[in-house]
């Protein structure tokens, strides 16, 4: 499909936007917030954004970061040639997503929400979530739980948990923009704070389609995750063609 055909199809189907909450302090990792640490030749946030800015179906990206860092993040993204809009986030992930949703124009059809620290997201999984959300109004990635699960009580193992039909959530999670805005408004009005968009949508009465994810789509949360990411990143870039131009500064945000 050439560029004009792609543009026409996108116009007919409605535009796609991505909101990336990136206001976290990264306390569990320690040191520089994890979204600003260098992975390969660029900060994690940059590597994550590239996956969406380079995707043919995605029309715009919004990053919600800490209010004090907006100007710094804008400059950082510009130095890597990224066009994402940067807005102040909130005290919680849900607040930051809400700020990102408010920054989107009403003409957006589907909005994806993706963790800033999940740089190992493949284009085919992004496409799958977009298509599923268009067909079912909301969708999210998840992978089946493979490990044995047991409860722990007073320092000892208790009963084994049946892992049948248990899934470990990933992002992106997607929905029609109007649907997700309504769910966020309801949660805010009721003083509810969910762990992700699926919980917010379900609480508002909306079904969310399950789309099988990829075990490589790691969330970099703990030091061990970071060590794995550094080992895997060069191979990932070679296989997925995810190497952009080096930023002018090439350093993480302090």
With beta carbons less than 8 A apart as the criterion, state whether 142 and 132 touch: no
What's the CA gap between 157 and 171, in Å, rounded? 31
Confidence of residue 240 (pLDDT cuts 50, 70, 90): confident
- In the predicted structure, residue 248 carries a pLDDT above the cut 50: no
pLDDT at 46: 97
What is the rounded average pLDDT for all residues in the chain?
89
pLDDT at 13: 66
Quick: pLDDT tens for 212-232: 999 999 999 988 999 999 999
pLDDT at 78: 97
pLDDT at 34: 87
Confidence of residue 122 (pLDDT cuts 50, 70, 90): very high
Could you tell me how far CA 105 lies from the centroid of its own chain? 19
Over residues 88-92, the mean pLDDT reads 95
pLDDT at 30: 53
Over residues 93-105, the mean pLDDT reads 97
End-to-end CA distance of the chain: 43
Q: Between residues 33 and 143, which one has the greater pLDDT?
A: 143
Residue 231, judged by CB atoms within 10 A of its CB (0-12, 13-18, 19+), counts as: exposed
Angle between the N-to-C axes of helices 93-102 and 177-189, in degrees from 0 to 180, rounded to the nearest 10? 130
Among candidates 197, 177, 175, which has minimal Cα distance to 187? 197
Quick: pLDDT tens for 129-178: 999 999 999 999 999 999 999 999 999 999 999 999 999 999 999 999 99
- In the predicted structure, residue 241 carries a pLDDT above the cut 90: no
Q: How many residues does the chain have?
A: 254
- In the predicted structure, residue 51 carries a pLDDT above the cut 70: yes
- In the predicted structure, residue 73 carries a pLDDT above the cut 50: yes
pLDDT at 33: 79
Over residues 195-209, the mean pLDDT reads 98
CATH topology of domain 3-240: Spore Coat Polysaccharide Biosynthesis Protein SpsA; Chain A (3.90.550)
pLDDT at 14: 81
Confidence of residue 31 (pLDDT cuts 50, 70, 90): low
pLDDT at 190: 97
Over residues 30-38, the mean pLDDT reads 80
Residues paired with residue 19 on neighbouring β-strands, in sequence order: 62, 113
Confidence of residue 245 (pLDDT cuts 50, 70, 90): very low
Could you write out the DSSP letters of every residue in the chain? --HHHHHHHHHHH-EEEEEEEE----TTT-SS-GGGSEETTEEHHHHHHHHHHT-TT--EEEEEE-GGGHHHHHHHHHHTT---EEEE--SSHHHHHHHHHHTS-TTEEEEEE--TT-----HHHHHHHHHHHHHHSEEEEEEE--S-EEEEETTEEEEEEP-TT-EEEEEEEEEEHHHHHHHHHHHHHTT---SSHHHHHHHTT---EEEE--TT-----SHHHHHHHHHHHHHHHHHHT---PPPSS-----
What's the CA gap between 167 and 169, in Å, rounded? 6
């Amino acid at each position: 499909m050439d560029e004009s055909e792609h543009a026409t199809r996108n116009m007919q189907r409605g535009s796609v936007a991505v909101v990336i909450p990136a206001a976290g302090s990264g306390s569990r990792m320690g040191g520089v917030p994890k979204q600003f640490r260098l992975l390969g030749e660029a900060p994690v946030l940059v590597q994550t954004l590239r996956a969406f800015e380079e995707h043919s179906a995605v029309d715009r990206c919004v990053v919600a970061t800490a209010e004090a860092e907006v100007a710094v993040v804008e400059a950082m993204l510009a130095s890597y040639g990224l066009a994402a809009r940067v807005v102040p986030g909130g005290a919680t992930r849900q607040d930051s997503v809400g700020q990102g949703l408010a920054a989107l124009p009403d003409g957006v059809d589907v909005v994806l929400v993706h963790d800033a620290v999940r740089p190992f997201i493949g284009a085919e999984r992004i496409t799958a979530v977009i298509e599923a959300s268009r067909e079912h109004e909301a969708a999210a990635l998840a992978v089946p739980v493979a490990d044995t699960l047991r409860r722990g009580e007073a320092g000892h193992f208790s009963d084994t948990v049946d892992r049948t039909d248990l899934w470990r959530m990933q992002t992106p999670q997607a929905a029609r923009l109007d649907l997700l805005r309504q769910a966020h408004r309801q949660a805010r009005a009721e003083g509810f704070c969910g762990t992700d968009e699926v919980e917010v949508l379900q609480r508002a009465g909306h079904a969310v389609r399950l789309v099988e994810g990829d075990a490589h789509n790691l969330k970099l949360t703990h030091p061990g995750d970071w060590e794995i990411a550094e080992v895997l990143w060069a191979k990932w870039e070679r296989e997925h063609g995810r190497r952009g131009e080096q930023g002018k500064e090439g350093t993480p945000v302090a």
